Chain A
Amino acid sequence: MENLNLFIRSIFVDNMIFAYFLGMCSFLAVSKNVKTAFGLGIAVSFVLIVSLPVTWCINEYILKPGALTWLGQEYADTDLSFLGLILFISVIAALVQILEMAIERFSPSLYNSLGIFLPLIAVNCAILGAVLFMQQRNFDNAWTATVYGAGSGIGWLLAITCLAAVRERLAYSQIPAPLRGIGITFIITGLMGMAFMSFLGIKL
């Protein structure tokens, strides 16, 4: 029940895009048509689902103050948390690389449709953001971290797909010239964010 609640909250209430503005760059750049947007959303969710449990284990067994106790009593005082950022970003980059190879091997069509955006997921703020929030929130076990990753990923997927759908329709509307393109996209995202705020306070 706890996990279900976390899942729903991370999709709607703590949405990566509307509440924390994470992963905005690719969110704005890749939302011109629904199909690519959906593909990227799936890839990001996938990386989130895989990378959160892995980084959770790293944090729990290597980085936390006293985490190295399993090596022997003399390491009980070691605190490696300052290494967090470097370790996390390398793990994410490596995972994205592996994922890229796996997708290329097992589903060449998906690989071709994602193109350059696949390697760029490594520098998507949503991934590192979710990992850092996971560290901050101190989840109890790897399963909870996975649920959080899945929720955040699906929330991101939902947001980018909705925006792409709206932007496809925008082609037919008359927008003041200075606002065309990026300006109106910001306003739409803002309005969608307000709509998502109505989910505040959901609790299961």
Chain B
Amino acid sequence: MIRKSRVLVAGTAVLALALTAACGGNDDSNGNETTTKAEFNAALTKVFNPSDKKGGTIRMANAGDWDTLDPGETYYGYSWDFLRLYGRSLVMFKPAPGKGSNELVPDLAESLGTPSDGGKTWTYKIRKGVKYEDGTEVKAADVKYAVLRSTDKETFPNGPAYFEAFLNLPDGYKGPYKSKGMNTDQAISTPDDYTIVFHLKQAFGGFDYMAQLSQTVPVPEAKDTGAKYKEHVISSGPYMFDQNNLGKNFSLKRNPNWDASTDPNRKALPDRYEVALNVNADDIDNRLISGDLDVDVVGTGVQPAALGRVVGDPALKAQTDNPVLARLWYTSINPTVAPLDNIECRKAVLYAEDRTGYQTAYGGPLAGGDIATTLLPPAIPGYQKFDLYPAGPDNKGDLAKAKEALTKCGQPNGFATNMAYRAERPKEKATAEALQQSLARVGIKLTLKPYPQGDYFSAYAGNPPFVVKNKLGLLTNGWGADWNDGFGFLSQMVDSRVIRETGGSSNTSVRIPEVDTMLDQAIVETDADKRNAMWGAIDKRVMEEAVIMPGIDAKSLMIRPKNLTNVFISEAYGMYDYLSLGVA
């Protein structure tokens, strides 16, 4: 499956390189490397404080509310990371440090999916003897039901929409609630209790990634209460819900019906998990530092308030990890707005950019991220390192090249255009201001246009007629993959067919027919190595068109749990792996 074929080097900036050496340097980690030395990035590629000691309680806190605990609808990486404690999907990311976590391993299924019909049909065998918290056995029909219910977007509007897009569902099918009794075997069939077959409308080579979505976590139909199911999810994993006070807190206790012999991936060390919701974010940091809390479950790193304190104190810094995430903060360059319809003008923008300004705007190399020159972050299989628009040795831009491009474009003295950003996001504002300054060096005059983030894509920056009318040549943007693979990362970002005239898409600038074709070819490829190479090619092709200015690959600075064992960063989730933690 996913194997690394080349050494990955994260980032281009020397500073960033030094800071992330541990991240990119250890490419064939197999999850067995361990360490007990508390130092910066100790848990990035190694298992910190390995232990098999059972018992204890892990205390977690979330600065906001959980989007939902329902496996059919939850759509956050941290939630998927956590959900594996109480739910078993067909396939899962391997609980291993660093790159090892990008490997898919079977969970509820006995093995990874078997493709047939050129990748249009995928078959999984389900393990026997896996039981729900009430002791009943998990059957193939439960997985089928779980997937089908998740396609009811009136009930679960926030969930991922991959299954309804790819499954060969009958026309007019509205999910098991409204289309009760409709035969759905043309989409998912269950020849026996332990076999489930997915029938797709078109071939999809990376279907195992879809099979790892929490939407394949089995849901017993008899216990399903629709939108209320989140109040009591029936566990198929090692832990089950003890208390669940929506919006306030919940706790997990051991599921007595979980059988370790059916589950090679989970250690299930602690006796309990306690999660507090809607906790003050700054307070979370303080409690992590003092040891009154184990994990900031959202896993986005420390708040600005604590950042200086953590970085400035060597003892505290040794208690942190700094992973690069599969999230790119970038700027769309819209070819629909003159004179950016001319590729040379777009190139001028790229050459004139001061990349260090972008990085500083996002909080620098530690809390912000590494300077990116490609769309794909290093964490995504298929990532190729290249830099089509070198910014000079100091990364502050190549003004000569920029002027040259401007001349070719017919705008030797520069031009004026507008730049949109989300008004509520100070980092995007800082980015826009940094760009305003750096582009001014070659005469490109930016006028900054803040828009409310709630409607940023639906009504403003993601609304093509609005973009043209208001001459939004540049707009700040960001994208994170739903899973670490080229499809998950690129499909929404560079496929021109996701752009809608009514707005709502975060792709606003990439309209390259050739890229669409390349995407279609890559999607159906079932050979992972070939497929990954194709993602890299798409990345390069988009960059050639100069319609995206890659900003930074996001990083986060996380406070390592003081009192826990088996701590390591899962690159698949870009945060600590919640499945393996134990209490010291």
Tell whether A pairs with B. Answer: no
